[in-house]
């Protein structure tokens, strides 16, 4: 699940400046031409004409290179255009002129963040916290940086500090709740999300995360309830439909799951992921042809079981053994150490009476793991080929393993009868 919890920035400019403004923290402009250029830049910025802002600030800086706000405004425009190196350069110039220019530090930190230069971004947030140690949002922002840099405990401390400073900081509750969810601290995560929902009952993201925690704990009805509340608030959010579909699927409500997956598809959720899960719905409902059809549409999906192995399982259960063998062979090339694939392929070979191939696969599996069931399957393959001595040896090993397994122990008398039968066959063959 991808949640959109943002670094708090203030990049909008909604006011103009007058000539000779000298109050602390404001702009000093010396001529009417400088005022006009700056105000022109502000107007362009608010109209999202960022290239025009840059030209206006170029002209202003050429006339007066000591205006920190001109660099900052140009840096914001470069940022909005995705030119992060140039943005960082401008924010740095603004800070050189005004060492306490908080917006420039914050914007430079975000630019560093987008370049994954987390250490530099954290240093800027450290500076902001030094200037304003009681600013809840600064701790929240630094926490976001720590999360993205996988420093989870540092992030948790910062989100907690942010909430301590402002008990109504919705974003901090959301961020801490998500982090606690990732840390499997579900009870605390739920508490944070409940608080977030009480602070902002119109947030579909809060309901989404609250529902996902319930889904993780297999509380499917609770998850469905919260996803449904989120959908009422954001009826075009394909992700909400997709995850509610997952909850329906896990709860065995396959038609509801398919309906939600189809709505998610229409609302631009990842089509490969949706087709994969539609395939799972049909698979669980024993509709193997439909399952394979949708799985074939999800070949680029990387989030679940290996596509070829899953397709092999579907073909195996549909008794399409030849197709299953092809699928398992592809999967085995991709996952050469996964013995489950070889075991299933061996079963397919056995079912189409290709006993030599089955024995070969069973033997590789048994070299890597002890499994009484596989021993018995290989014994049956040997027996089908009338290689009774090999079959008897496998049956004896099966019995030794079954003696320590209550579920298999009941089969020992039958296997002992098989051994006696094969010994009889061997005696007949010697006559």
102-136 pLDDT, tens digit each:
999 999 999 999 999 999 999 999 999 999 999 99
Rounded mean pLDDT, 372-376: 93
- For the chain, the average pLDDT equals 91
Q: CATH number, domain at 75?
A: 1.25.40.10
**178 lies in some domain:** no
Q: Whole domain around residue 97: which residue ranges?
A: 21-133
C-alpha to C-alpha distances, 188 to 191, 193, 391, nearest whole angstrom: 5, 9, 57
76: helix, strand or coil:
helix
Higher pLDDT, 425 or 354: 354
**316 lies in some domain:** no
Q: Give per-residue pLDDT as tens, 315-358.
A: 999 999 999 999 999 999 999 999 999 999 999 999 999 999 99
**108 lies in some domain:** yes
Q: For residue 347, what is the enclosing H or E element? A: helix 339-351
**31 lies in some domain:** yes
Of 263-267, 278-282, 370-374, 404-408, the range with the highest mean pLDDT is 278-282
Cβ neighbours of 393 (radius 10 Å): 16
**Confidence class of residue 402 from pLDDT cuts 50, 70 and 90?**
very high
Closest CA to 362 of 168, 352, 351, 373: 373
Q: Give per-residue pLDDT as tens, 263-319.
A: 999 987 789 999 999 999 999 999 999 999 999 999 889 888 999 999 999 999 999
Locus of tokens 């409902």: 285
Distance in angstroms (rounded) separating the CA atoms of residues 328 and 343: 10
Tally of domains within the chain: 1
**104 lies in some domain:** yes
Contacts of 279 (CB under 8 A, 6+ apart): 290, 291, 292, 293, 294, 295, 298, 310, 314
Distance in angstroms (rounded) separating the CA atoms of residues 29 and 57: 13
Distance in angstroms (rounded) separating the CA atoms of residues 171 and 369: 50
The token duo for 174 is 């959301």
Rounded mean pLDDT, 359-377: 94
Which pLDDT belongs to residue 1? 46
The token duo for 400 is 């030794």
Closest CA to 288 of 271, 265, 312: 312
Residue 10 has pLDDT above 80, yes or no: no
Contacts of 179 (CB under 8 A, 6+ apart): 147, 152, 155, 156, 159
Q: Give per-residue pLDDT as tens, 21-73.
A: 333 345 678 889 999 999 999 999 999 999 999 999 999 999 999 999 999 99
**90 lies in some domain:** yes
Cβ neighbours of 73 (radius 10 Å): 26
Residue 2 has pLDDT above 70, yes or no: no
Cβ neighbours of 24 (radius 10 Å): 5
The token duo for 162 is 């942010």
**346 lies in some domain:** no
Rounded mean pLDDT, 70-91: 96
Burial 326-346 (b: 16+ CB within 10 A, else e): bbbebbbeeeeeebebbbbbb
Q: Which residue pairs from 322-330 have beta carbons closer than 8 angstroms and sit at least 24 positions apart in sequence?
A: 322/348, 322/352, 324/348, 325/349
**70 lies in some domain:** yes
Closest CA to 163 of 179, 147, 176: 176
Residue 207 has pLDDT above 50, yes or no: yes
């Amino acid at each position: 699940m991808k949640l959109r919890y943002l670094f708090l920035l203030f990049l909008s400019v909604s006011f103009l400046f007058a000539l000779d403004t000298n109050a602390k923290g404001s702009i000093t402009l010396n001529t009417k031409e400088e005022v006009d250029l700056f105000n022109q830049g502000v107007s362009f910025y608010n109209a999202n004409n960022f290239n025009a802002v840059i030209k206006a600030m170029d002209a202003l800086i050429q006339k007066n290179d000591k205006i920190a706000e001109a660099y900052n405004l140009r840096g914001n425009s470069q940022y909005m255009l995705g030119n992060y190196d140039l943005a960082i350069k401008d924010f740095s110039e603004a800070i050189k002129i005004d060492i306490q220019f908080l917006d420039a530090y914050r914007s430079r930190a975000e630019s560093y963040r987008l370049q994954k230069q987390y250490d530099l971004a954290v240093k800027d947030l450290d500076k902001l916290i030094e200037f304003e140690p009681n600013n809840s949002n600064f701790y929240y922002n630094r926490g976001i940086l720590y999360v993205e840099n996988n420093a989870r405990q540092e992030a948790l401390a910062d989100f907690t500090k942010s909430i301590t400073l402002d008990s109504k900081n919705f974003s901090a509750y959301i961020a801490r709740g998500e982090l606690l969810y990732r840390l499997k601290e579900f009870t605390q995560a739920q508490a944070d999300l409940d608080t977030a929902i009480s602070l902002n009952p119109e947030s579909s993201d809060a309901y989404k995360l609250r529902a996902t925690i319930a889904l993780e704990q297999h509380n499917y009805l609770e998850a469905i309830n919260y996803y449904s509340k989120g959908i009422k608030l954001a009826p075009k959010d394909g992700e909400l439909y997709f995850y509610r579909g997952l909850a329906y699927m896990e709860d065995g409500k396959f038609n509801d799951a398919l309906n939600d997956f189809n709505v998610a598809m229409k609302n631009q959720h990842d089509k490969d992921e949706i087709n994969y899960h539609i395939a799972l719905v049909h698979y669980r409902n024993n509709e193997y042809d439909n399952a394979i059809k949708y799985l074939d549409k999800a070949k680029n999906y990387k989030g679940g079981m290996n596509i070829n192995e899953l397709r092999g399982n579907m073909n195996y259960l549909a008794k399409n053994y030849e197709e299953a063998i092809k699928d398992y062979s592809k999967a085995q090339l991709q996952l050469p150490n996964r013995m489950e694939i070889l075991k299933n392929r061996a079963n397919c070979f056995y079912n189409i009476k290709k006993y030599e191939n089955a024995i070969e696969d069973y033997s590789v599996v048994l070299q890597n793991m002890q499994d009484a069931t596989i021993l018995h399957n290989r014994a049956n393959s040997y027996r089908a080929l009338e290689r009774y001595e090999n079959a008897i040896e496998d049956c004896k090993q099966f019995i030794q393993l079954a003696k320590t397994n209550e579920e298999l122990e009941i089969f020992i008398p039958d296997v002992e009868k098989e051994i006696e039968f094969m010994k009889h066959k061997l005696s007949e063959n010697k006559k």
